[in-house]
Structure 1
Amino acid sequence: MKYGSIIIEKKEYVFLKRLLNVSGYAQESETKRSLQKFNEELQHAQIVDEEDMPEDVIRFNSKVTVSSEKGWERTIQIVTPVEKDFSNNKISFLTPMGSALFGYSANDTVIWDFPKGTQQLKIVAVSQEKNTTNRKISI
């Protein structure tokens, strides 16, 4: 892991904690396990100010290209639950893939339990969407 632990921007951290509390860790067992694992990672996360947030760290609205050890590569955007739109490759943080990647950076490798089993993912690239309203998360 490039930075030693996941990195979360302060306002997004508060939003994530509230989201995790409200979600009740979901009903599906795979999603529940993913969110519990993410919550455990939050215990050791680096929480930073917006101006100290590295550009290559996955956060809300980040576009992420990931490759799997199983041979596929995909570009997705991590969004809040209300913004999810699978047809446009926008996945919610509350999905196993969304929670698996959040806070990691480009070139990190993530091993996570997904509905189809444990997978190793390589984060190939991370880009930040500019001028998004989501950077102003209300808390």
Structure 2
Amino acid sequence: MKYGSIVLEKKEFVTIKQLLNLSESYKETVRKQSVLRLHEELKNAIVLDEEELPEDVIRFNSYVVVATKDGWQNEFQLVTPTESNFSNKKVSVLTPMGLAIIGYAKGDVIDWEFPGGVKSLEIKEVKQTEKV
């Protein structure tokens, strides 16, 4: 892990904690495990002001490319649940994929439980949206 722990911006840290508290009742085992794992990671998260956040850290609205060792690759934008739109490659932070990558940085490799089993994901690229 590039920074030793996941790295989050202060406002996003609060939002994520609120979203996780609302989603603790998930019945689906994989999603529930993902929520619980992110809860654990939040205990040691590095929380920074927006201007201190490294550019290569995945946050809300980041464009991300992830890949596995078996050749699978996916590119998408990580968004809040209300902005989620699979056909437009906008993945909610509350999906197993979103829960797995939030706060990680380019080059990190994450072993995470997905519906198809444990996968080792590598963060290949992280691009931030332009600030308006």
What TM-score results when the alignment is normalised by the length of structure 2?
Answer: 0.96
Show CA shifts across 1:46-70 (max 9, x none): 0000110011000000000011122
Counterpart position of 2:15:
15
What is the identity, as a one-letter code, of the residue corresponding to 2:18? R
- Residue 123 of structure 1: aligned partner: 123
Give the secondary structure class of the aligned counterpart of 1:82. Answer: helix
Q: Secondary structure at the match of 2:20?
A: helix
Distance 2:131 2:104 in 1: 22
SS in 2 for 1:4: coil
3-state SS of the aligned residue for 1:33? helix
Q: Unpaired runs of 5+ in structure 2?
A: none
Structure 1 residues 31-110: aligned runs within 5 Å: 31-110=31-110
Instruction: Name the CA shift for 1:125/1:43 in 2 (closer, same or farther; >3 Å).
Output: same
Kindly report structure 1 stretches of 4+ aligned residues shifted beyond 6 Å: none
Q: Which amino acid aligns with 1:57?
A: V
What do residues 40-93 of structure 1 show as CA deviations (whole Å, max 9, x unaligned)? 000000000011001100000000001112211111111000000000111100
Identical pairs, percent? 50
Report the TM-score when normalising by structure 1.
0.91
Post-superposition offset of 1:130: 1.5
Q: CA deviation at 1:25?
A: 4.6
Counterpart residue number, 1:137? none
Q: What root-mean-square deviation, in Å, do the aligned CA atoms of Structure 1 and Structure 2 show?
A: 1.0
The alpha carbon displacement at 1:28 in A equals 1.2
User: In the TM superposition, what is the alpha-carbon distance from 1:94 to its structure 2 partner?
Assistant: 0.4
Q: How many residues of Structure 1 are paired with residues of Structure 2 in the alignment?
A: 132
Once the two structures are TM-superposed, the CA of residue 33 in structure 1 deviates from its matched residue by 0.5
